[in-house]
Amino acid sequence: MENMLVTGGYGFIGSNFVRYLLDESDYEGRIINVDSLTYAGNPENLAGIEETYGDRYVFVKGDVCDGERMDRLFDEYQLDSVCHFAAESHVDRSIVGPGAFIQTNIVGTFNLLEASRSHQGQVELFHHISTDEVFGSLGKEGLFMETTPYQPNSPYSASKASSDHLVRAYHETYGLPVTISNCSNNYGPYQFPEKLIPLVIQNAREDKPLPIYGDGKNIRDWLYVRDHCTAVWTIMKNGKKGETYNVGGNHEMENIRIVEIICDLIDALPHMNAKPSRRSLITYVKDRLGHDRRYAIDSSKLKNDLGWVPEESFQTGIEKTLAWYLAHQEWIDRVRSGAYQEWIRDHYEA
């Protein structure tokens, strides 16, 4: 894997993965980051990477929905591996505007698979990043396993399920060397502030209402983003072609408990002491349409076959996450204002 295409490398998980590969892992090749720089793709997420790593890092502004452009990249950079993060990923946005999710998550994945197929022999691996949401909703007991039938309940999860099936089909039909990972809810640095944890951190800092869907008892398994990155790299190096691996943090928690923990951590900061507690800011709002009640991942296959386990507990992960957001208020302000989009226009659209 000397020339790896990382799609969506300026996004939340993609940028953390690029940083992990270059700063911490044993990867010695070149990364070509292709990103269309939509609202969630922020060049600041990889500030300093190009200067530090020189020609080991290349950015290409491009859209995975542009099949011809994607195909040319394989020749231009002699790509031999793909790690496919690029996706529309926010459930609420998929409910309001599902069309973009169909295009990026299904058509975009198809384009990359076709480009990889046309360069078969050159491409050693196509790794596809997916989500536990493709499995639908669990009851009070049980865990999602790799063999769990798909039952997506939102346009977002349906589009990701479709892309998973395409990737698997290209392996079975054409022999394309693929691996797939389905992860639980990620959190950590560089996450766009529309998601639960960064939204609650910022609102709590500003003494604004903390909106909670329904009764707040929807359960998710939480995975610190660096742990996700180590899992993906482990699968890419050692996973069996054609196989799917679930990646979870082993931290099931109700949404309301997440919010309470963040409130308590911020209240405990010397310069942020509040009376009453920031828990008083919690505001219950109308539940999301098709809101899945519980997700929980069984990562035993990844542990038993490849030796991966998460390093962070939820407590250590959320403390690191809070510290990062507290130290990066300027990043948050620019993201929320859309100011970084001006930088994109100046550099790429002039």
Nearby residues of 323 by Cβ (< 8 Å), 6 or more positions away: none
Sheet arrangement for strand 125-131: 57-61, 30-35, 3-7, 81-84, 125-131, 178-183, 244-247
**pLDDT tens-digit series, residues 6-64:** 999 999 999 999 999 999 999 999 999 999 998 778 899 999 999 999 999 999 999 99
Residues 267-295: what's their mean pLDDT?
Answer: 85
pLDDT at 347 (0 to 100): 57
Q: Is 66 a catalytic residue?
A: no
pLDDT at 274 (0 to 100): 65
Q: How many CA atoms lie within 13 A of 219 on its CB side?
A: 15
pLDDT at 340 (0 to 100): 58
Report the predicted TM-score, pTM, of the whole model to 2 decimal places.
0.93
pLDDT at 121 (0 to 100): 93
DSSP state of 41: -
pLDDT-derived band of residue 350, with 50, 70 and 90 as boundaries? very low
The average confidence (pLDDT) of the chain is 92
Q: In 3-state terms, what secondary structure has residue 12?
A: helix
- How far, in Å, CA of 210 to CA of 187, rounded? 17
Q: Which of 10, 20, 57, 156 is catalytic?
A: 156
Q: Which of 132, 164, 298, 312 is catalytic?
A: 132
Q: In 3-state terms, what secondary structure has residue 238?
A: helix
Q: For the domain 3-191+223-251+290-314, what is the CATH superfamily, name and number?
A: NAD(P)-binding Rossmann-like Domain (3.40.50.720)
**Among 144-148, 244-248, 281-285, 330-334, where is mean pLDDT lowest?**
330-334
**Among 87-101, 256-270, 291-305, where is mean pLDDT lowest?**
87-101
Residues 319-323: what's their mean pLDDT?
Answer: 97
Q: Which of 35, 63, 88, 133 is catalytic?
A: 133
**Among 76-80, 226-230, 290-294, 346-350, where is mean pLDDT lowest?**
346-350
pLDDT at 244 (0 to 100): 98
pLDDT at 168 (0 to 100): 98
223 compared with 336, residue with greater pLDDT: 223
pLDDT at 346 (0 to 100): 61
Nearby residues of 271 by Cβ (< 8 Å), 6 or more positions away: none
Burial 38-67 (b: 16+ CB within 10 A, else e): bebbbbbbbeebeeebeeebbbebbbbbeb
pLDDT at 92 (0 to 100): 80
pLDDT at 96 (0 to 100): 87
Q: Is 132 a catalytic residue?
A: yes
What percentage of the chain has pLDDT greater than the value 90?
78
Of 119, 148, 122, give the one whose Cα is nearest residue 134. Answer: 148
Residues 282-311: what's their mean pLDDT?
Answer: 92
Neighbour-count burial of 242, counting CB atoms closer than 10 A to its CB (0-12 exposed, 13-18 middle, 19+ buried): middle
Question: Where along the chain do its domains lie?
Answer: 3-191+223-251+290-314
pLDDT-derived band of residue 339, with 50, 70 and 90 as boundaries? low
**pLDDT tens-digit series, residues 207-255:** 899 999 999 999 999 999 999 999 999 999 999 999 999 999 999 999 9
Q: DSSP of 71-122, one letter per residue?
A: HHHHHHTT--EEEE------HHHHHH-THHHIIIIIIHHHHHHHHHHHTBTT
pLDDT at 249 (0 to 100): 94
**pLDDT tens-digit series, residues 108-155:** 999 999 999 999 999 999 999 999 999 999 988 889 999 999 999 999
Q: Is 133 a catalytic residue?
A: yes
Dig out the tokens for 12 from the structure.
């939340």
pLDDT value at 192 more than 70: yes
